Amino acid sequence: MPDRNPRYDILFDPIQIGPKTTKNRFYQVPHCNGMGHRYPRAMAEMRGVKAEGGWAVVCTEECSIHPSSDLSPATLMRLWSDADLPVHELMVEKVHAHNSLAGIQLVHNGFEVANYVTRLPSLAPGNIPTENFPHVHARAMTKADIKDFRQWHIDAAKRARRAGYDIIYTYAAHGTMTLLYQFLLSRYNTRTDEYGGSLENRVRLLREVLQDLKDAVGDTCAIALRFAVDELLGDDGMNQSEAQDIVGMLAELPDLWDVNVAAWHNDSMPSRFGSEAGQQDYISFVKTLTTKPVVGVGRFTSPDTMVSQIKNDVIDLIGAARPSIADPFLPNKIDEGREDEIRECIGCNMCTSGDYLAYPMRCTQNPTMGEEWRRGWHPVTIEKAGSSASVLIVGAGPAGLEAAVALSDRGYQVTLSEARKHLGGRVITETSLQSLGEWRRVADHRTWLLSQRANVQTFTESTLTADEIINADYAHIAIATGSHWRTDFIGLQHRQPVPIADNSTILAVDAVLNGQRPSDHSASVLIYDDDHYYLASALAEQLASEGRDVTLVTPAADIAEWTHNTLEHEHIQIRLRQLGVKIICNKHISHVDAGHVTLACVYIDTPMQVEADVVIPVTSRRADDSLFNELQNQKPAWADTKIKSVTNIGDSMAPATIAMAVYAGHEYARNLDLPAEKARFFRRELELGGE
């Protein structure tokens, strides 16, 4: 094993945080995961794996301190009573097992929550409509409420210490998400008592809570403050000047400053709209105002960037949520001189959808994420090969590539055959769209790993037929031949093809992704989105930035609807408007003619014509399963050969996200040759704790 590059030694310095000392500077900041209290074993195992991978501090997601902050249906953490302790004790035990510190982020969400389950009134500095249940208002907190609120923090902190946590946070960040931030913001805090008005007054509650926590548990636990230094709203929100005053006022009170920008979509900036270390200019002032250590995030995956952040006095600890999800072993890889093997986060934010949709988080790059306990999948170790030796994988998209990597890890002899010139399938074609450039890491990481493996043979520009496959000498065949976008408009809205006049021009998505463009640069292009994820907007963005006249039409009420779950939506709206893309919602296509399309309202039949020289339907895909089907049809011909199985995986089985294709490839590799009971679906999660 190579040695650590001395250039990165600084990343492994211990850091003093109040009464605690870290083993290095790698710090997994609090992040949601869709598991929380509902899937506690899965959550705890996932956190433990991060500690094993070298993260010196591993934090929970936000943890509600009281039933008046009920985040249901989201599945985050709670510390409302002693009944919640077993979940926390389990997590702490997993983190401590690897000599890492465990942190907990206490929160009250004020008017952000509507308390769907507990049905308590929401609390806020004043009567404010709740975020998630319009029409329902929060109650303006009385002095007695404020006293209770402080006590809930103290009670939760004492419980957190009993659970074994080393670092206890209070949380005033992510925009309007927390009550303490709501008190800081003059647009919400219109109180006329000593908790409202001047900045000193608006900071009072945060100062009191910090002091309460110090007094209650500060002798043995470090007290951290997570604070958003800028909402990027100018004078309408928290900005640099106010944030500097706040940091100046509280400078030495917390043992650790965890700083970022708000709201969440700016903090967890998708790679389409921001790159590594994107928060540097906003947060760098903090270290000039405090002697306490500072942690910050910036989707750090490059050890050189991390070192420069420390040397340039921006931060002391390398904060990470997404990079630790994509590669829980990132710190160990740097420590062992294997930084080339880091599986870099692509900034797609598939992981954040777990929080929005309340399911266990999944990651495009890391197929084991969320499956550490449920399926016993470890991100580094994998069961050795079974009885058979050789596997042929046809198609090197994300499914085929991941299957090849994981099978080679297991020790199989792997042959990967790809029809095109490059490995990567849809990842290569989609990343021809400039804004999706970082997603190429899905293919690059795996292509590089395969190039290092002696037990993998890769063939490009090699289109295999069923006969060739049958006559080859492999025990197992995986078909990962992908999918193609339809051009007949069949999708969610249209279950039958849309009438298309002969002299009209339809441009297939795959053609655009392969570089084809309308020959006439001034041609009007209409993109019809019945897919509702990222691709239609990325195509619109690309073509508009090339100077083309673009209209985006969708039958949905909003463009790129599903990207609300990936924090891309607001950025997409802004970018497309800046580029002059015309947006038409609530309309479907009823007819395509030369030079125009006829649209109809999805609710009532009010046809309208829109100019469109070229139409690009982004509706649904067809699985490229003909090779698989042919092999099935020829089963009698290969029944007597060495072939034990032919399996269809990824998009050629059922078109889906890149994350699902990677997962399918991994699942295939994990389960090959395993007895059925071992290749089980998943372990059931039963709740821990009492009533």
Q: Is 614 helix (H, G, I), strand (E, B) or coil?
A: strand
What is the C-alpha separation between 25 and 23, in angstroms, rounded? Answer: 7
For residues 99-111, one letter each, b for 16 or more C-beta atoms within 10 angstroms of the residue's C-beta and e for the rest, the string is ebbbbbbbbbbbb
**Rounded to an integer, what distance in angstroms lies between the CA atom of residue 651 and that of residue 482?**
4
355 tagged catalytic:
no
Q: Residue 480 binds what, of ligand ADP, ligand SF4, none (CB under 5 to 8 Å, by partner type)?
A: ligand ADP
Q: Does 351 bind ligand SF4 (CB under 6 A)?
A: yes
Q: Kindly tell me the burial class for residue 473, based on how many C-beta atoms sit within 10 Å of its own C-beta (0-12, 13-18, 19 or more).
A: exposed
Q: Does 334 bind ligand SF4 (CB under 6 A)?
A: no
- Asked if 398 touches ligand ADP (CB under 6 A), the answer is yes
| Token pair of 449 as six digits | 């790993």
Residue 609 has which token pair? 């014509």
Helices 143-163 and 199-217, packing angle to 10 deg: 40
User: Amino acid identity of 469?
Assistant: I
Identify the residue among 397, 491, 518, 617 touching ligand ADP (CB under 6 A).
397
Q: Which of residues 644-663 bind ligand SF4 (CB under 6 A)?
A: none
Task: Give the binding range for ligand ADP (CB under 6 A) out of 188-196, 266-274, 331-339, 397-405.
Answer: 397-405
Residues between 294 and 313 with contacts to ligand ADP, criterion CB under 6 A: none
174 is catalytic: yes
Interface size with ligand ADP, residues (CB under 6 A): 25
CB 354 within 8 A of CB 360: yes
Instruction: Judge whether 484 counts as a catalytic residue.
Output: no
Member of 418, 438, 568, 625 binding ligand ADP (CB under 6 A): 418
213 makes contact with ligand SF4 (CB under 6 A): no
Sign of CA dihedral 537, 541, 542, 543: positive
Instruction: List the 608-611 sheet strands across, edge first.
Output: 587-593, 596-601, 608-611
> If contact means CB under 5 to 8 A according to the sort of partner, which of ligand ADP, ligand SF4, none does residue 464 touch?
ligand ADP
* Closest CB 2 distance from ligand SF4, rounded Å: 26
Ramachandran class of 58: left when φ > 0, alpha when ψ lies in -120 to 50, beta otherwise: beta
Contact residue for ligand ADP among 62, 651, 667, 673 (CB under 6 A)? 651
Max intra-chain CA distance, the chain: 85
Could you tell me if 572 and 537 are in contact, meaning their C-beta atoms sit under 8 angstroms apart? yes
C-beta closer to ligand ADP: residue 331 or 425: 425
Does 510 participate in catalysis according to the annotation? no
CB of 491 to ligand SF4, least distance (A): 25
Site membership for ligand SF4, residue 443 (CB under 6 A) = no
| Whole-Å CA distances, 10 to 277, 285, 288, 307, 322 | 18, 21, 20, 7, 22
Q: Which of 57, 184, 269, 345 binds ligand SF4 (CB under 6 A)?
A: 345
Out of 325, 407, 512, 552, the residue judged to bind ligand SF4 by CB under 6 A: 325
Binds 350: which of ligand SF4, ligand ADP, none (CB < 5-8 Å by kind): ligand SF4
Q: Which residues contact 452 (CB under 8 A, 6 or more apart)?
A: none
Quote the CA–CA distance of 274 and 575 in Å, as a whole number. Answer: 12
Question: Bridge-partner residues for 259, per DSSP?
Answer: 227, 296
CB of residue 666 to ligand SF4, shortest distance in Å: 14
364 binds ligand SF4 (CB under 6 A): yes
- The 456-475 site mask, x for binding ligand ADP (CB under 6 A), equals -------xx-----------
Question: Which parts of this chain interact with ligand ADP (CB under 6 A)?
Answer: 394-400, 417-420, 425-426, 463-464, 480-483, 624, 627, 650-652, 661
The residues carrying an active-site annotation are: 32, 171, 174, 267
Question: Which parts of this chain interact with ligand SF4 (CB under 6 A)?
Answer: 322, 325-326, 345-351, 363-365
